[in-house]
Amino acid sequence: MTSLSSWIENKLLQLNVTETMDKQNGFSRLSFTKEEKAAHVQFEKIASELGLNVHQDAAGNTWAVWEVDHSAPTIALGSHLDTVDSGGGYDGTAGVLTALAAIRELKRSKFIPKKNIAVICFISEESARFGISTIGSKAITGKLNKQELSTMKDRDGVSVQQAITAYGIDFHSIDQAVIPIESLECFIELHIEQGTTLENAGASIGIVKGIACPVRLKVTAEGMANHTGTTPMNRRKDAFVAIAPLVTFVQAEALKVNETSEQPLVATVSTISLKPNAMNVIPGRVELGIDIRSVDDELKRNFAEKIKSYCSEINNKDGVTIEFTTLVDNDSVLLEDTMHDKLLQASESLGYQTISMNSGAGHDVMNMAANWPSGLIFIPCKDGISHHPAEYAAINDLEKGTRVIANFLQVEAGN
Ligand SMILES: [Zn+2]
């Protein structure tokens, strides 16, 4: 085992505040909890050991900076340390860890950068607690809507504001975490893939071109609740029966679209709320949530239109009204070609099996990419499993990711 891999193995445990990665219930470090804070404290410790300057910004992001020249540009790297409930210890952590490990490698090789290198440990990336994601990178890039944020609560009724205050941050000044465009030159995030594209391709490194953002729809069927025992079959307004064909329609149409489209599209009926949801009552109202993703924005919007016209086709059949609402419609994020090409080059020159690919999940880099040329590196995770205790990435792949970052930094900060 090389000393880099044992360092990675060791610091992986430290960032996860654990003695073993093999935990039946995984890791739970929800947004703005003492568990998230404990992980940030470990990040600070490791960064300090590496001789980096550490500070926390107004939103709670922890920065570790290898500062060589105050007037020189800064290359930033980073990811997050919070998790979903019973999540894995690699989602987010892999990016923070490999960024630190790359700096360690450069320092050990006596490399002296001509630019500053910053590692950002973003606060509160997961939406698991408050339903809002990437709070830290939104704050840095000026995308945080404090008004909207102040209305959000977790399932125990704790507001974001209360949680942030308990974390030790002044809610009213979190927008002061925003930094001017000129303070960074570019940004890179490494993340586990959370899919099986790399595994299937037998590749170790993926360089991401685009991040597919979702169109999210709500479809509501309104019929009439009534007694299951006394209402004859031909006298019902069963909302569930009326809307049920939509579920298989979405699946079948998405499969069909993928037969001919250049870019893949995924569509999922992912939530259902059924009222009154009682054994002896005909469903009177059903709400479906549909999530559609593709980096081809036109493709996903056309797909949403197909669902809309299907809904109007089935509207008012058997006295059930169907209503269609668009909840979210964000453009996909295309990462800058030059960053993509540089990272591809950094990986291929190390002899790693590397592919260009897209991401089906959002990450902090999405926000950063709006302000700075940004890149996203994927490493494989076993069977594509993530947000689950079984999430796993091999030390060997974390090491390869580290070397890609170090190689990139050597080129970019070396001249
Ligand atoms: Zn993540």
Q: What is the pLDDT of residues 267-291, one digit of tens each?
A: 999 999 999 999 999 999 999 999 9
How far apart CA 317 and CA 210 sit, in angstroms, is 41
Omega before 373 within 30 of 0, i.e. cis: no
Segment 68-75 shows an average pLDDT of 95
Instruction: Tell me the CA–centroid distance for residue 285 and ligand 1, in Å.
Output: 35
393, two tokens: 């990435």
Instruction: Tell me the CA–centroid distance for residue 386 and ligand 1, in Å.
Output: 9
Instruction: Tell me the CA–centroid distance for residue 191 and ligand 1, in Å.
Output: 7
Domain 3-211+333-412, CATH homologous superfamily name and number: Zn peptidases (3.40.630.10)
Using alpha carbons, select from 300, 313, 232, 310 the residue that is nearest to residue 267.
300
330 band by pLDDT with thresholds 50, 70 and 90: confident
Instruction: Tell me the CA–centroid distance for residue 392 and ligand 1, in Å.
Output: 13
Instruction: Tell me the CA–centroid distance for residue 91 and ligand 1, in Å.
Output: 5
Neighbours of 119 (CB within 10 A): 27
Sequence ranges of the chain with CATH classification 3.40.630.10: 3-211+333-412
Q: Is the pLDDT of residue 5 over 70?
A: yes
Instruction: Tell me the CA–centroid distance for residue 229 and ligand 1, in Å.
Output: 49
Instruction: Tell me the CA–centroid distance for residue 222 and ligand 1, in Å.
Output: 37
- 3-class DSSP string for the chain: CCHHHHHHHHHHHHHCCCCCCCCCCCECCCCCCHHHHHHHHHHHHHHHHCCCEEEECCCCCEEEEECCCCCCCEEEEEEECCCCCCECCCCCHHHHHHHHHHHHHHHHCCCCCCCEEEEEEECCCCCCCCCCCCHHHHHHCCCCCHHHHCCCECCCCCEHHHHHHHHCCCHHHHHHHCCCHHHCCEEEEEEECCCCHHHHHCCCEEEEEEECCEEEEEEEEECECCECCCCCHHHCECHHHHHHHHHHHHHHHHHHHHHHCCCCCEEEEEEEEEECCCCCECCCEEEEEEEEECCCHHHHHHHHHHHHHHHHHHCCHHHCEEEEEEEEECCCEECCHHHHHHHHHHHHCCCCCEEEEEECCCCCHHHHHCCCCEEEEEECCHHHCCCCCCCCCCHHHHHHHHHHHHHHHHHHCCC
How far apart CA 150 and CA 158 sit, in angstroms, is 11
User: Model confidence over 165-186: pLDDT tens digits?
Assistant: 999 999 999 999 999 999 999 9
Instruction: Tell me the CA–centroid distance for residue 384 and ligand 1, in Å.
Output: 13
What class does CATH assign to 214-329?
A: alpha beta
Instruction: Tell me the CA–centroid distance for residue 300 and ligand 1, in Å.
Output: 23
2 band by pLDDT with thresholds 50, 70 and 90: low
Instruction: Tell me the CA–centroid distance for residue 240 and ligand 1, in Å.
Output: 35
Q: Is the pLDDT of residue 415 over 80?
A: no
Instruction: Tell me the CA–centroid distance for residue 247 and ligand 1, in Å.
Output: 29
Beta bridge partners of 190: 377
Whole-structure pTM value: 0.87
Sequence ranges of the chain with CATH classification 3.30.70.360: 214-329
Instruction: Tell me the CA–centroid distance for residue 157 and ligand 1, in Å.
Output: 25
Indicate the average pLDDT of the chain. Answer: 96
Neighbours of 248 (CB within 10 A): 10
User: Model confidence over 120-140: pLDDT tens digits?
Assistant: 999 999 999 998 899 999 999
Instruction: Tell me the CA–centroid distance for residue 90 and ligand 1, in Å.
Output: 8
How far apart CA 112 and CA 115 sit, in angstroms, is 9
The whole-number pLDDT of residue 318 equals 87
Neighbours of 187 (CB within 10 A): 28
Instruction: Tell me the CA–centroid distance for residue 221 and ligand 1, in Å.
Output: 34
Instruction: Tell me the CA–centroid distance for residue 94 and ligand 1, in Å.
Output: 9
- Position of tokens 């690919």? 357
Instruction: Tell me the CA–centroid distance for residue 349 and ligand 1, in Å.
Output: 27
